[in-house]
Amino acid sequence: MAITLVFSCKPTAYKNSELQKNISFDVLLSNSQSNIVKQKNVILQTSKELKQIFNSINTTRTPHIPIPKVDFKTEIVAFINIGETSTGGHSVAVKEIIEKENTLVVFYEGNSPKPGENATMVITTPFTMVKFKKQPKSIIFKRVVK
């Protein structure tokens, strides 16, 4: 008795809505004083917008922090400001930027002094800004909780 098995394989398109890849970025500046009191997460797409942010950053500085070079034809800047805090020891950092099917997600982390840890009594407005390649997708910000 002979048994013949015939298999037919049809290629199927693999579509995964969770397909994602990391986007490289460069940190332009991270500091404790943006002089912007409210939390603000924005994408800067022009040199005029970048200059407006630096006008705030440099309000209380002498000498001023120079405005970094950004080629807005091919790059954009993510500015993340966690708002006003009543002590030192706070910071914010971009952990990664992920490209998903229809969006880019900028994941960032805010750090604060640990309970009982000494911190200076000073008002701060911590921020960070990163640049990365311009993408034709919507961009959202997500805070990473430790």
Please determine, for residue 73, whether its predicted confidence score (pLDDT) is greater than 70: yes
Q: Which residues of 20-49 are buried (b: 16+ CB within 10 A; e: fewer)?
A: eeeeebeebbebbbbbbeeebbebbeeeeb
Q: Read off the pLDDT of each residue in 14-19 and give the average, rounded to a whole number.
A: 51
Give a yes or no: residue 31 inside a domain: yes
Q: Flag whether 4 is in a domain.
A: no
Residue 41 predicted with pLDDT over 50: yes
Digit-coded pLDDT (tens) for 90-121: 899 999 999 998 899 999 999 877 777 777 77
The answer to the question of residue 5 being in a domain is no
Q: Is residue 123 part of a domain?
A: yes
Phi, psi of 121 (to 5 degrees): -90, 90
Integer angstrom CA distances of residue 101 from 12, 21, 71, 78: 19, 10, 25, 20
Residue at 15 is within a domain: no
Mean pLDDT of the chain: 86
Please give the tally of structural domains in the chain.
Answer: 1
pTM flag (> 0.85)? no
Q: Which domain holds residue 118?
A: 21-143
16 lies in some domain: no
Residue 95's alpha-carbon distances to 6, 56, 74, 109, in angstroms, are 51, 24, 22, 7
Lowest mean pLDDT among 32-46, 64-78, 117-131: 117-131
Is a pLDDT exceeding 90 seen at residue 40?
yes
**pLDDT attached to residue 18:** 60
